[in-house]
Structure 1
């Protein structure tokens, strides 16, 4: 049996002119500790790769196929020909076209990625093989933070091995940067102009934007030192028409039980995502035995939103009665159209700023002790600070519930899908009639204004909320170390290599929650919008409401027109929403790579063990009421556990260019960080509960442990062409531990007994929150094909098709035996891309389709809320031309493109209790761009 090192394959690919593609494959190989290949396989690959001399989109397709083909794991891959030339402007959009993957849109942009029916929380994301922090409350990475312009490739691991430095039941997504020593000197500029199809929905919004990138790659010192630098700046507009229902309420009218619209909050949104990113990579190989790599990524991210609409309380605003409500149309007991009098509507001029600053740095040392032994040391740190400033500004007719004119308003649901059309009787676009101030008596706090009438009766007691500001903050930091050794085995039978290692990860995530009541300084008077803050009107014809006043609410707050009062002064809920979670993970791994034959069938693969020892802790607050006073007590809870995760990957070369893969592994997904904190609200009962506890608490559960699964993957792959393949995959996972709502036991220390004010030494508590338990199975199949039409006829050279279909089923129950639907699971997912790439001309059209699923959206106070999301079909297209490839030598290096996103104008639709909760229309987006490479 002949063995050789992977570097020989690298040389063969370099000879074939594919070094840019192998940069991503090299990164994958580094992460996987270099798969061993037989001499027969090497010769076959060399023979195939020598004839490949293609560029452009087809080249990235070939590179992705090679990464998939030569990986010991089941993977999917995206490769970029150059920095800034991923097939899409968004990493999430590119990823969501891979077989078995899809994405959920957030504010019109693909952001949250689902792998094989699992939501974002069941997969891990790494950057150059290192786990990353997140800007949300949970672990899921929002891919908008990572610009595609500075990435060279993405690899999705559907089956793990022992050397991967991240855990996820669904898989691991690794984003990779360029390696400058494998590239030639390049200076590249690119720019894009972006335009939305919806006209400016807000007078101060943007419907166009731009982005630009500059990158430089070079080598020095006899090609022993290489650098890569890329800087990209983006201002990307996004617009939305949104119907949002509070829900539907039950009422009795004329002695008849009915269900009608409870309330609505439709609006138009204009937002601009501004992102500045800088990437630096330094690679040095001072000797043949030593390689040093340093990489750093900095991202400054700000998403500024303008939201204007009219909040319509309707059925939940004032009582539904025979006197003020008239039913106009109904479907059984469900009212599809009605007219209601005595309504006070709230005109909303809202604003939101979501900003984040992220840094990620890493240093890697790879040293060959001799021909058989190599050592690797890796250290990294990533951190992010995120702030949200989300403001609601109210205006309307008259102060409070009972002052000013009332509206008589009619609603009619339109086909039960995209919300309602309203017919008001008042004009909401007149600055002389609609004034600043709260037209409803919303909000209650003892520190708000108290105004009394002539008889001493309270008129505005603990009220007068003229707006509200949510201002949560998140900080997340992750530091990791790894020391690994690789031993090549020459005379060990079937075994070709051993890998050993130890790693350590220390992560701390902190959230601070705060809110502010806004009250006009001229309270209780309502105030006309000052002339300098008037912006005109926003049009709400899409819901029948006509024009509404538009003003600069940010400027009014900035210039002191409102008093801001902390909500936490009287509302202790913010204490339960503020917390710190720390997680320390010590990992040991060992992996054996082998090569043998089963009869006449060559078999390669690896078997590994990964042992994880986890210490987690949380610091927070427990609050309860003692003698009418809220008492806050610090909490600090620690918990530890361990896991042994075996993994097996086998590849059977059943015929020339055909293989069967078998993967089996035990995997885990760690609990959401916002579910495992120790901040709780506490109440004391005079009699013990069934568990013998006097305390009842609700909030986070710091004792949560990861979800666990045992999975098996079986895949057949047929590489019938240098540019084409098809595969059939089946996967099955036994989810032997999940996380559900339930009860748990916890010891409270230092919390006072409300009846006596004394602090007992120890006291048991029954907690309500997330708990481990339940489980079930998930299984599915995937069909994927990349078909170059030149295998049909040479006259069709350049045409091709990429398609996939996946179907997944689940049978999961909670700890009480009740059926449970996994978040992010669509029964079916399809992707289809047709392309043409020849003589410099490139064109492609892509479709991605998914069926209904349960998705996470932001609710009140930025709490995560799960809703039913309707399936969607997204169509994108791009056309471009490379002048150099087209034979224009004087324009060598220049390429241009035009891209259209969401060409089908597909809305995002979520349901609650089977009825439309959200109907979000984003319109189409067009990008015109160029790239010039010297």
Structure 2
């Protein structure tokens, strides 16, 4: 059966970066005006048409209308594609209710490149650790609302003309353009609300689009704006820092030698996190065609996420007593873990510590681009683009109280493996009246800046000869990128406790963490954010580096990575009877300058010093030159059967913090991390094969296999290092995890199936198997790759007629290695999410939709080993009700 192809999909395909069939005249904006396809069925058809016509391995998601992706979040939409994984956190902040990072084919998000309209977008994060010590190359999708999207392309196989940087692939988010709209004037908007059932909050969601183009169709302007608010509440049990090991030097070893080498929970936390997210921004796009052969464009985008957050963690303080005090007789040790223990109350010992951390954080990104598309003659087309982008993540103030309670009350716990929370309790007075000591830390400014300026010039030469060579793409790109972490100012605390004591308090919500299970303290109090902020602000002295060695300029948290990237490419496109393809070479020349600090030890004369210690400045330079080949072949075996092969080499530079971060440490377990400026880029040799059967309109069955050999993959090893301890005011020995190059590999299989059932129903499903390993051996004896889930699958179904639409989908991902917690590897366990949507077209200009996310209310589980859990998170469900208007 022949596959039906719409006029719109043909026009889109012909404009897709000069495909192999580009000897025909490219479609114009006028052609795009003639057809408008909407709805679930229309968007699926457009996506499959684009996928089929492309010469390379491409997955496509097309928005049905403004803000109407198949999910509320762009990353949530992409996770339903074969070979795509998502994660809901950027560092060690744990899982949330919204997808934030995208990765491909069982690898870490840093190896996947995200672009907007083919260019870089600077990234920023609201979480303080992602602003400083844990900075990757992935993009935060929390700054990219779905209202921006016309379509999203996931390039799984490389082409020479694609921007380098995505070892495992590239995600390209395509926005709308003014001259593509059908009518002279278009106005669209949505008014809605989101209800978060765990936060018990209803918040507004607003967006609008206005587009105008003149009668001649040679000038257009589009303006989009969005303003969205959402309340989050996460209820959890956390074990910060994991378990520690009792040593022969600890006092308890003298009375209980059988405990030497046994792992014990250092902290067991009852954790309440609340956050208000306010996202505001917009996009403006102008297009002008002074003549039929030249189109000029100017685009600007900005998005700001205000993400004030308050984390309360009431914790059993195992580090305080388990090294010194013997548990009562009858304790149980299993598989090297103290799984069941009770400690009698000992006067003068604090059995619990309580951290209350309020942060006022922001993340924002913007870009501006100028484009010029010039049809030089019938056979030569050029495109020029120049632009700049900037992302900033900032936590200017942190308001923190750390108090000890439960003095002399004793403690107990019982573990149940990594799948269930730990049952634990402490005795004694845990109310505000039971506070025995007060401390504050971390009220330090943290700022991250990400900037890039670039220019690229691309050409396509078409050939009308009878030979197989149809066109040649060639061009060059230059980019200047800088990523910097800053911490120039902080507060020296005064008598904060006197001001805070007796201030306003609140209580944990009723039914707290009921979905998680387990038995642990739930009826808890906390100081309100306002009380905490006032006490810290009014009783602290804010100091900067200008105050000399008495200032709180944290040089050890500062670093800068500057990269100058020049690339040039040539790509030949071929076509014959029933086949097409391309072959190309991309030359990449990169110069890196890395500026960082090292702790001054021994007789070393420091360059700078402050209350955080003394440091010497360090500067490093790296140069990388490489030619990256790529080839794609497509065979139309029948009208409905396509076979593809692809081979390439791709490259991604190491994470910014992996290159630049200074060594840092936590006094709790004497562990920490740091960078390695001598890291080499990750280079992957990739092979890909896929068979696609388009057995009916909107119908597809495909199966493929892929292989990636990762040279100089980035893993982590642990070493001893002397660092300055703010707690003891002297140098101490820490176990520092540091990145290193190691080889790796991933091999996998992808299966996808889509089929309409009758006129109104349809189903879709896909499955991805990924088997990844590295030559590096982690501390737990494994050879896992970061981010590799062995099994991922998606199933869904839909119904749509002219008035009503409905969709339901379920996604599941198996466990994967996240990174290091201290010096220990830790993992996220299997998880699945269920979502559904309903839509009703009331009139030609009004439609109503209801989207429900996380309907199954999953508990996100993290662990170190089968016996040692790390955390359990519950985020609740979210319901989005929207009224959409069109004119």
TM-score (norm 1): 0.80
For 1:236 and 1:779, how far apart are their aligned partners in 2? 39
Which residue number corresponds to residue 381 of structure 2?
374
Say which structure, 1 or 2, has more relative contact order (CA 8 Å, 6+ apart): 2
Contact 1:124–1:168 (Cα < 8 Å) also in 2: yes
User: SS in structure 2 opposite 1:93?
Assistant: helix
Which residue number corresponds to residue 878 of structure 1?
837
State which of 816, 825, 834 in structure 2 corresponds to 1:853: 816
Contact 1:514–1:574 (Cα < 8 Å) also in 2: yes
Once the two structures are superposed, the pairs formed by residues 624-635 of structure 1 within 5 Å of their partners are 624-625=600-601, 627=603, 630-631=606-607, 632-635=615-618
Q: Which moved more, 1:187-196 or 1:406-415?
A: 406-415
User: SS in structure 2 opposite 1:267?
Assistant: strand
Contact 2:810–2:835 (Cα < 8 Å) also in 1: yes
Contact 1:131–1:166 (Cα < 8 Å) also in 2: no
Whether 1:291 and 2:271 are equivalent positions in the alignment is no
Task: State the shift of 1:727 in Å.
Answer: 0.9
The structure-2 alpha-carbon separation of the partners of 1:554 and 1:527, relative to structure 1 and needing over 3 Å to count, comes to closer
Contact 1:243–1:418 (Cα < 8 Å) also in 2: no
Which residue number corresponds to residue 196 of structure 1?
196
For 1:331 and 1:318, how far apart are their aligned partners in 2? 17
User: SS in structure 2 opposite 1:705?
Assistant: coil
Q: Any idea what the Cα deviations from partners look like across 1:755-775, whole Å, max 9, x if unmatched?
A: xxxxxxxxxxxx994343x32
Q: Which moved more, 1:327-336 or 1:346-355?
A: 327-336
Once the two structures are superposed, the pairs formed by residues 53-68 of structure 1 within 5 Å of their partners are 55-68=38-51
User: SS in structure 2 opposite 1:820?
Assistant: coil
The structure-2 alpha-carbon separation of the partners of 1:472 and 1:211, relative to structure 1 and needing over 3 Å to count, comes to same
Which residue number corresponds to residue 788 of structure 2?
825
Task: State which structure, 1 or 2, has the greater radius of gyration over its C-alpha atoms.
Answer: 1
**Alpha carbon RMSD of aligned pairs, Å?**
3.4
State which of 508, 515, 521 in structure 2 corresponds to 1:545: 521
Which residue number corresponds to residue 725 of structure 2?
none
Which residue number corresponds to residue 913 of structure 1?
865
Which residue number corresponds to residue 138 of structure 1?
136
Which residue number corresponds to residue 925 of structure 1?
878
Whether 1:899 and 2:874 are equivalent positions in the alignment is no
For 1:546 and 1:487, how far apart are their aligned partners in 2? 69
Task: State the shift of 1:104 in Å.
Answer: 1.1
Contact 1:877–1:899 (Cα < 8 Å) also in 2: yes
Which residue number corresponds to residue 783 of structure 1?
751
Contact 1:473–1:511 (Cα < 8 Å) also in 2: yes
Once the two structures are superposed, the pairs formed by residues 467-616 of structure 1 within 5 Å of their partners are 467-491=441-465, 493-513=467-487, 516=490, 519-521=493-495, 528-530=501-503, 533-535=504-506, 543-558=519-534, 560-564=537-541, 574-597=554-577, 602-616=578-592
TM-score (norm 2): 0.84
For 2:757 and 2:23, how far apart are their aligned partners in 1? 31
For 2:378 and 2:36, how far apart are their aligned partners in 1? 33
Q: How many residues align?
A: 808
For 2:371 and 2:339, how far apart are their aligned partners in 1? 63
Which residue number corresponds to residue 223 of structure 1?
217
State which of 715, 726, 732 in structure 1 corresponds to 2:690: 715
Task: State the shift of 1:387 in Å.
Answer: 0.4
Task: State the shift of 1:634 in Å.
Answer: 2.9
User: SS in structure 1 opposite 2:297?
Assistant: strand
Q: Any idea what the Cα deviations from partners look like across 1:810-869, whole Å, max 9, x if unmatched?
A: 343139998631111100110111111112211111111111101258x68xxx985211
Q: Which moved more, 1:540-549 or 1:264-273?
A: 540-549
User: SS in structure 2 opposite 1:312?
Assistant: strand
Task: State the shift of 1:349 in Å.
Answer: 2.4
Contact 1:153–1:177 (Cα < 8 Å) also in 2: yes
Whether 1:673 and 2:656 are equivalent positions in the alignment is yes
User: SS in structure 1 opposite 2:19?
Assistant: coil
Contact 1:130–1:166 (Cα < 8 Å) also in 2: no
User: SS in structure 1 opposite 2:323?
Assistant: coil
Which residue number corresponds to residue 304 of structure 2?
300
For 2:718 and 2:419, how far apart are their aligned partners in 1? 38
Which residue number corresponds to residue 646 of structure 2?
663
Task: State the shift of 1:522 in Å.
Answer: 6.1
Whether 1:839 and 2:802 are equivalent positions in the alignment is yes
Task: State the shift of 1:395 in Å.
Answer: 5.6
Which residue number corresponds to residue 438 of structure 1?
437
State which of 600, 615, 620 in structure 2 corresponds to 1:637: 620
Contact 1:541–1:547 (Cα < 8 Å) also in 2: no
The structure-2 alpha-carbon separation of the partners of 1:492 and 1:501, relative to structure 1 and needing over 3 Å to count, comes to farther
Q: Any idea what the Cα deviations from partners look like across 1:567-600, whole Å, max 9, x if unmatched?
A: 9968999433311111111111111111124xxx
Contact 2:490–2:552 (Cα < 8 Å) also in 1: no
Q: Any idea what the Cα deviations from partners look like across 1:463-512, whole Å, max 9, x if unmatched?
A: xx334324321001111111122111112611011111111111011111
Which residue number corresponds to residue 248 of structure 1?
243
For 1:386 and 1:109, how far apart are their aligned partners in 2? 19
Which residue number corresponds to residue 612 of structure 2?
none
For 1:317 and 1:518, how far apart are their aligned partners in 2? 29
Q: Any idea what the Cα deviations from partners look like across 1:204-244, whole Å, max 9, x if unmatched?
A: xxx33221111112211411112221111111122111111
Return 5+ residue gaps in structure 1 as ranges: 1-11, 201-206, 399-403, 440-464, 683-696, 745-766, 791-796, 884-890
Which residue number corresponds to residue 728 of structure 2?
none
Contact 2:850–2:882 (Cα < 8 Å) also in 1: yes
For 2:622 and 2:505, how far apart are their aligned partners in 1? 55
For 2:36 and 2:508, how far apart are their aligned partners in 1? 57
User: SS in structure 2 opposite 1:469?
Assistant: coil
Contact 1:31–1:164 (Cα < 8 Å) also in 2: no
Task: State the shift of 1:872 in Å.
Answer: 0.7
Q: Any idea what the Cα deviations from partners look like across 1:777-823, whole Å, max 9, x if unmatched?
A: 32111000111012xxxxxx211011101111134313999863111
State which of 397, 404, 413 in structure 2 corresponds to 1:411: 413
Whether 1:810 and 2:810 are equivalent positions in the alignment is no
Return 5+ residue gaps in structure 2 as ranges: 90-95, 125-129, 247-252, 608-614, 666-671, 720-735
Task: State the shift of 1:168 in Å.
Answer: 1.3
Contact 1:31–1:163 (Cα < 8 Å) also in 2: no
